[in-house]
Structure 1
Amino acid sequence: MTERQGIPRALIVLLCTASAVVTLAGMREVGSIIGPVLLALVLVLAVAPVRTWLERHGAPGWTLVAAPLALVLFLLLGMVAILGFSAAQMATLAPTYSRQFDQIVLQTQRLAAQLGIGTQQVNQAIKTLDPGRVFDLLTGFASGLLEVFTSLVLIVVLVLAMCLDARAFSRVLSSDMARHRSELVRALGLFAHNTRRYLVVSTVFGLVCSALDVIALWVLGVPLPLLWGVLALITNYIPNIGFIIGLVPPALLGLLEGGPKTMILVIACYLLINFVVQSLIQPKFLGDAVGLSTTVTFLSLLVWTFVLGPLGALLAIPLSLLARALLIDSDPAGRWAAALVSGQAPGDGRP
């Protein structure tokens, strides 16, 4: 009996890792093209139920393309306007509070001297909390997203093309030829369903959190509460760290406007709202739609941000779901990998 020769497992892992690195590096180099393509795909999936509803009710063929396209245009133009206004406001806010910041620095230095803490240590800590640096980072984040969204011509053309091909694509997936790729078809359908569910639930609860944040900031007297509410809604799509990004600007403004007490109240309100809405209520509606463990979610955030920048941070979950559908769910032998990335053992109810 001859032994079965196979490729060593370690070599397979190394080859797969090298292929992933080369692929991601290539995607990063052409991120200006891939970013809008992936954004258009997610937007088309988000508005697909509109096309399905119109088709079910016998609407004319041209409306199956025009209605989703108009909805996407409305979303894109609204996002461009919001991000442009936010970037302009954040760029002008920091200089207006320079005097208040200097006063806080002096008070902190005096308190540190009374406690026996060296001035050099205090200055180093203050540099890390400089609101100018924080606002510069947030302005860069908003500007990075704005650059992507301002590629409206390319995005609109891509959305239009995808909407025109949607019916043909659906027919291909439901044809007899697709039966030979049943696992892939099932994985793509699951990806589309889970992505829509994730977007809808995240948007609804993001609006709830944003409205509550705006009310809390308005009561506490923090400037531009509506702007920070919109920022909280946008950063709601960023897993793990989005909440912190949305909290930093109003907390700093609370410190500059009303002192440490206001800052603590802002942080407490954000923590309470986020814990109740996003940690207790939202998971009951979202359920297992994401199908990604906390560790995989955080790693996907890092990877997609590295590849596509700020847009990758916003689309980290949908893009990870797409990668899971193509690489894991479409392979019948990949059940163990699906259990690994979802953090759920086979048979526990998660796909």
Structure 2
Amino acid sequence: MTAPPPETPDSAARGGGPGQWAIPRGLIVLLIAAATVVAITGAKAFAGVLGPVFLALMLAIAVQPIQQWMQRRGRPAWLGMLAALVTVYLILLGLVAAMAVSAAQLATSLPDYSDQFGDLLDQVQNLLARFGIDQERIDHALSGFDFGKLVELLEDLLRGLAGAFSNLLFVVTLLLFMVFDGMTIGRRIGVLRTMRPDIAEALGSFTAGTRKYLIVSTVFGLIVAVLDGVALWILAVPFPLLWALLSFITNYIPNIGFVIGLVPPALLALLDSGVPKMIWVIVVYCVFNVVVQSVIQPKYVGDAVGLSVTITFLSLVFWSWVLGALGALLAIPLTLLAKALLLDIDPSTRWMDVLIGERAPDRGRRAPAESPDPPG
């Protein structure tokens, strides 16, 4: 007589036999949904802390290859840490300083365009009156347009981007600790790979995908920034360097970054020189940015991170809602982190990569994940 197989938690949950305790599948779905809501609510409540932590993590991952390169050349670990730390500090402080100086210049110059804004409203009123629209309706429609509100809108936009780096002291301090830990992360991953290879593979996929995404976005961001800045300078649009910097930063925002970077220079061109120059700005941005950001860049980003266009857009919406402006900038890396911790970490859930990926992998093959660091 054959003895029945031993009861396992899995078989009990599935109700594998008479007398075994079973959890209804609907209850499992409800518990997962409730846990997800609690986790999202907590993340939103602590967005002021989580946002800078994720920013520091992304920057630390970005400069980690400097430490690896120094170690491969036989340099002391502390020297690699110092080189990576100086590099990331210069990048961070350079961006913050450039945004602060440009925003201050813009804030002091925008009030000079109040007369042009009034003239523009008068032209709109005359145009609407020619089409036989009642004056009362015109006044009611244009009553909400105020130059002060326009100034506040532009300032809020720049303040929101600068606010992504508002906890600068916290980010700088956290980067120091993360880069310091980077000196031994290679050995830790090596040990983890022998103990839990699935977790090591998931973390390796996350770090490799994040670095590829940052490299692709940075390269294309620089290309777009140079093209936009030169075009705006030729068109004599005020503050071309500011708008070039804005194009570079918004390039990290998937799908709608182009629109965010276009609106301020187009509005300023309208106030400075009228409708023809605004149209030229829109045309130039569409030619450069649409070709680069909508045709060329998505192919490289999709190959780098393995996420479909729909998933990237939903990631942007979700992380912007949870973490604000910083969530929009880090939407793709945050999604890669969530994917690594929730899907890639468990072989039984990796099949979902086929559904959310940019393209289906070859049947029976799985690309090997890159290690975040060589064991050292």
Instruction: Answer whether TM exceeds 0.5 for this pair.
Output: yes
Question: Which structure 2 segments of 5+ residues have no match?
Answer: 1-15, 368-376
- Which of 237, 261, 269 aligns to 1:254? It is 269
Deviation for aligned residue 1:188: 0.8
Change beyond 3 A, Cα 1:54–1:343: closer
TM-score normalised to structure 2 length: 0.85
Kept after mapping to 1: 8 A contact 2:81/2:183: no
Deviation for aligned residue 1:168: 2.5
Deviation for aligned residue 1:195: 0.8
Query: Which deviates the most, 314-323 or 276-285?
Result: 276-285
Kept after mapping to 1: 8 A contact 2:99/2:242: no
Q: Does 1:87 align with 2:103?
A: yes
Q: What is the aligned partner in structure 2 of residue 237 from structure 1? A: 252
Q: Does 1:173 align with 2:166?
A: no
CA distance in 1 between counterparts of 2:241 and 2:35 reads 45
Deviation for aligned residue 1:144: 3.7
Query: Which deviates the most, 288-297 or 262-271?
Result: 288-297
Change beyond 3 A, Cα 1:311–1:128: farther
Q: What does the per-residue CA deviation read over 1:32-66, in whole Å, with 9 as the maximum and x for residues that have no partner?
A: 22222111110010001111111111112221211
Q: Does 1:40 align with 2:65?
A: no
Q: What does the per-residue CA deviation read over 1:225-255, in whole Å, with 9 as the maximum and x for residues that have no partner?
A: 1111111111111111111110001111111
Q: What is the aligned partner in structure 2 of residue 55 from structure 1? A: 71
Query: Which of the pair is proportionally richer in helix?
Result: 1
Q: What is the aligned partner in structure 1 of residue 243 from structure 2? A: 228
Kept after mapping to 1: 8 A contact 2:78/2:183: no
Matched to 2:278, the amino acid is M
Query: Which deviates the most, 265-274 or 301-310?
Result: 301-310
Query: Which deviates the most, 284-293 or 331-340?
Result: 284-293
Query: Which deviates the most, 41-50 or 327-336?
Result: 327-336
CA RMSD, Structure 1 to Structure 2 (Å): 2.4
Q: What does the per-residue CA deviation read over 1:132-181, in whole Å, with 9 as the maximum and x for residues that have no partner?
A: 43442342243244345243332222112112212332212112x53342
Determine helix, strand or coil for the equivalent of 1:149.
coil
CA distance in 2 between counterparts of 1:162 and 1:263 reads 45
Change beyond 3 A, Cα 1:291–1:122: farther
Q: What does the per-residue CA deviation read over 1:76-122, in whole Å, with 9 as the maximum and x for residues that have no partner?
A: 11121122123323433432211111111111111111112344554
Q: What is the aligned partner in structure 2 of residue 282 from structure 1? A: 297
Matched to 1:183, the amino acid is D
Q: Does 1:12 align with 2:28?
A: yes
- Figure out how many residues of one structure are paired with residues of the other and give that number: 350
> Pairwise mapping of residues 110-121 of structure 1 onto structure 2 (< 5 A)?
110-119=126-135
Matched to 2:329, the amino acid is L
Matched to 1:154, the amino acid is F
Question: Which structure 1 segments of 5+ residues have no match?
Answer: none
Identity %: 49
CA distance in 2 between counterparts of 1:218 and 1:319 reads 35
TM-score normalised to structure 1 length: 0.91
Kept after mapping to 2: 8 A contact 1:35/1:311: yes
